[in-house]
Structure 1
Amino acid sequence: MRIAIFANNERKTQIVKEKLKRKFIERHFILDEESPQVVVTIGGDGTLLSAFHYYRKQLKTIRFVGVHTGHLGFYTDWRDDEIDDLIISLQSDNGQSVSYPLLDVLVHYANQPKPQRYLALNESTLKRSSSTMVTDVYVGGELFERFRGDGLCVSTPTGSTGYNKSIGGAVVHPDMEVMQLTEIGSINNRVFRTLSSPMIVSPNDWITLKPMLSREDKRDLLLTIDSNSYHNLGITQIRYKVAKERISFAKYRHTHFWHRVQDAFIGDNYGD
């Protein structure tokens, strides 16, 4: 089996990385950062996000395994003191996996002839940094509403527990191959109206955002794709849909999604 180790730069993480690297060599695994079959991330969800974007063009042939060196994350199943058990699981691997939906983001820029395509594991947002953002929202090619406010967020099911949840979005199980549109600080009064509720959109539909701003004001827009930011690029249109690609995790000991949600947001206090 070809293995790649992807780790952050924290001291504790680097210690675990070196320990794991030695054990992989001792057990005759092949360390291959260019074309791995399994990518083991060490750190937290942020580290796994970085690994996902680094290997985004190889998703068909890669499975991910997350080792956390802090708090349990939504993508990291193994603790740093369980690497011996992880290696045993890798040695008995038979290709088992679980996969999650991704977000396909197609961005049109005023100064570029061809749109740019991105993939998001968690979410994508569109905001305006200095003033109110005015954007027409289309669903399935039909105009749905004209949004006025701070911004809009489109998230995957696994990303629904992140920024989406903090702005009032619903938590969605990753077995549902959908995307979610959530408003950020919308303006609603007698003149301006929006749905003011999260929308769950099926994989058969798509969401298109068309900023209704001057050319100069469009350069004030800020686009985020997971933890990556794109600013001052003159965005004219963004199309979102559920991606054909999926991310796969090696399923040795995959924690139930609702157990993750309970552990992250409720803990042991539910009985008090």
Structure 2
Amino acid sequence: MKFAISSKGDPVSNSIMQKMKTYLLDFQLEYDEDRPDIVISVGGDGTLLYAFHRYRSRLDKTAFIGVHTGHLGFYADWVPDEIEKLVIAIAKTPYQVVEYPILEVIIRHNDGGREARYLALNECTVKSIEGTLVMDVEIKGQTFETFRGDGLCMSTPSGSTAYNKALGGAILHPSLRAIQLAEMASINNRVFRTIGSPLILPEHHTCMLKPVNDVDFQITIDHLTLLHKDVKSIQCRVANENVRFARFKPFPFWKRVRDSFVGDIGR
């Protein structure tokens, strides 16, 4: 089996990375940063996002494992005290592959010849560089509304606990093949109206965002911030690809949600 390790870069994460690499090499596993079967992310959710984008061309061949060295993350199953147990599991036992949906974003431009395709593990956000964002929102080819506000966020179920939650979006179990559109500070008065609620779209529905004004846009794909000019449309849908996680033990999602946001407050 070939493996690679991605570290957050702090002393604790780097130390764990070196220790795990040494152990796994002792078990005769092969270290390969270009074509790994397993990528171990040591740090937090941000570290795993970086690893996901680094290996986005190998999503059908590479599975991810998270070791968190800071606050509890949604993509990290393991803690530093468990690394010896994890190394033995990787080296000696078969693992279960769990696949979750991700987001496909295609940005098309008015010249007709350029388009850019991105994959997001958490979310894509769209904001206007200057002034209010004004976007026509189409669902399955039909106009749904004209949005006016600070911006829009399209998230995956895995990313529903991130920026989407801060915007008042629903938390979705990551196994659901859907995407969610949430508003950022929409304008609602006697003249302009939006739905004012998050929209959850199944995998066979495509959401198209079409600019009403000729402005530049700041578009984020997870941790990546992009500037796009002369935008004709931004197409969002559930991608054909999936993210794959290597599981050696149960991953209780709702317990993770409770521990992260509710805990034992008041008990």
TM-score category, normalised to shorter length: over 0.9
Q: Matches of 2:218 and 2:231 in 1, distance apart?
A: 9
Structure 1 residue runs without a partner (length 5+): none
What is the Cα deviation at residue 11 of structure 1? 1.1
**Long gaps (5+) in structure 2:** none
Q: How does 1:1-272 map to 2 (within 5 A)?
A: 1-110=1-110, 113-214=113-214, 217=215, 219=216, 221-269=217-265, 271-272=266-267
**Which is further off, 172-181 or 88-97?**
88-97
RMSD of aligned alpha carbons: 1.2
- SS of 1:204's equivalent in the other structure is coil
Q: Deviations over 1:87-112 (max 9, x none)?
A: 11112332411111100100013457
Q: Give aligned-pair identity as a percent.
A: 45
Residue type of the partner of 2:90? L
Aligned 8 A contact 2:105 2:236 in 1? yes
Residues 91-137 of structure 1 show CA distances to partners (whole Å, capped at 9, x for unaligned) of 23324111111001000134571311000000001011321111000
* Separation in 2, partners of 1:35, 1:25: 16
The whole-number CA distance in structure 2 between the counterparts of 1:142 and 1:112 is 21
SS at match of 1:190: coil
In structure 2, C-alpha distance between the alignment counterparts of 1:51 and 1:225, rounded to whole Å: 14
State the AA in 2 paired with 1:247: V
1:175 partner letter: S
The answer (yes or no) to whether the contact 2:6–2:40 under 8 Å persists in 1 is: yes
- Distance across 2 between alignment mates of 1:232 and 1:157: 26
CA distance in 1, matches of 2:178, 2:228: 30
Corresponding letter in the other structure for 2:263: G
Q: Which moved more, 1:95-104 or 1:31-40?
A: 95-104
- The residue type equivalent to 2:238 in the other structure is V
Partners of 1:110 and 1:34 in 2: CA distance: 36
Cα drift, residue 150 of structure 1: 0.5
Give the aligned residue type for 1:118: Y
Distance change (3 Å), C-alpha of 1:110 and 1:93: farther
Decide whether the 8 Å contact of 2:95 with 2:248 is kept in 1. Answer: no
Q: Distance in 1 between matches of 2:88 and 2:81?
A: 14
Shift of 1:21: 1.2
Alpha-carbon distance in 2 for matches of 1:99, 1:46 = 19
Structure 1: which 4+ aligned runs deviate by more than 3 Å? none
Amino acid of the structure 2 residue aligned with 1:257:
F
Distance in structure 2 (CA, Å) of the matches to 1:203 and 1:26: 43
Partner of 1:165: helix, strand, or coil?
Answer: helix
Does the aligned pair in 1 maintain the 2:101–2:177 contact within 8 Å?
yes
Determine the C-alpha separation between the residues in 1 that align with 2:78 and 2:261. Answer: 19
Instruction: Give the AA of the match of 1:243.
Output: A
SS of equivalent to 2:15: helix
For the 8 Å contact 2:100–2:243, the answer to whether it is kept is yes
Letter in 2 for 1:223: I
